[in-house]
Amino acid sequence: MTTIYQTLTKNKPESSKSTFLALRLMAKGAARAALAVFAASVLGTSQPATAQATSVAVIQNDLGGNMEARLQTIARMRASGTRVEIRGTCASACTMYLGLPNTCVSRGSRLGFHGPQSQYYGISLPPEEFEYWSRVMADHYPGAIRSWFLSEARYTTMDIITLSGAEVIRLGARPCD
């Protein structure tokens, strides 16, 4: 028995065979998407199939941590629309949550800022790495906080500069209701 694939690709160059397979895979994907939409309509969902529930992350005692891991967390939170409420201590890499569109800060919270550090205490980063990571951090802050960080806070690497939530709000962070 001859299959449709064999009939359509007989005596055809390899590129035609690849094109056929690609089209077949796309058709399967379209069929699955149509089935998902149909199932959603039959089940009577009130939201589009792609909608996700918005979750809330309440920050009370986050002292930071590995910046690369935090960047991945922030990317996931941004994609899911997670709302972040800073309501306590938020220091170091935690402060990068300020760059998420759904982040608010309580007036009584405490935020700690410092510049990028080597993984080895007391060892400075090479200048190009220091500049790179300073920019990565600053890109996660609202305008006035970004300017302040780049002109001042990033040069504090062996200590931490603590601002109250009220001060951070004055610098452009959104207050929690």
Helices 143-151 & 127-138 angle (0-180, nearest 10): 160
Task: List pLDDT tens digits, range 104-149.
Answer: 999 999 999 999 988 887 788 999 999 999 999 999 999 999 999 9
Q: Mark whether 94 and 140 lie in a shared domain.
A: yes
Q: Mark whether 61 and 144 lie in a shared domain.
A: yes
Tell me which residue range forms the domain holding 22. 13-51
Q: Mark whether 93 and 123 lie in a shared domain.
A: yes
Residue 73 burial class via C-beta count within 10 angstroms: exposed 0-12, middle 13-18, buried 19 and up: middle
Q: Mark whether 46 and 78 lie in a shared domain.
A: no
Q: Mark whether 153 and 66 lie in a shared domain.
A: yes
| Range list of β-strands (E), the chain | 56-62, 83-91, 103-105, 110-113, 161-164
Task: List pLDDT tens digits, range 63-119.
Answer: 999 989 999 999 999 999 999 999 999 999 999 999 999 999 999 999 999 999 888
Query: What's 77's domain CATH number?
Result: 3.90.226.10
* pTM (two decimals): 0.67
Q: Tell me the C-alpha distance between 89 and 95, whole Å.
A: 10
Residues in the chain: 177
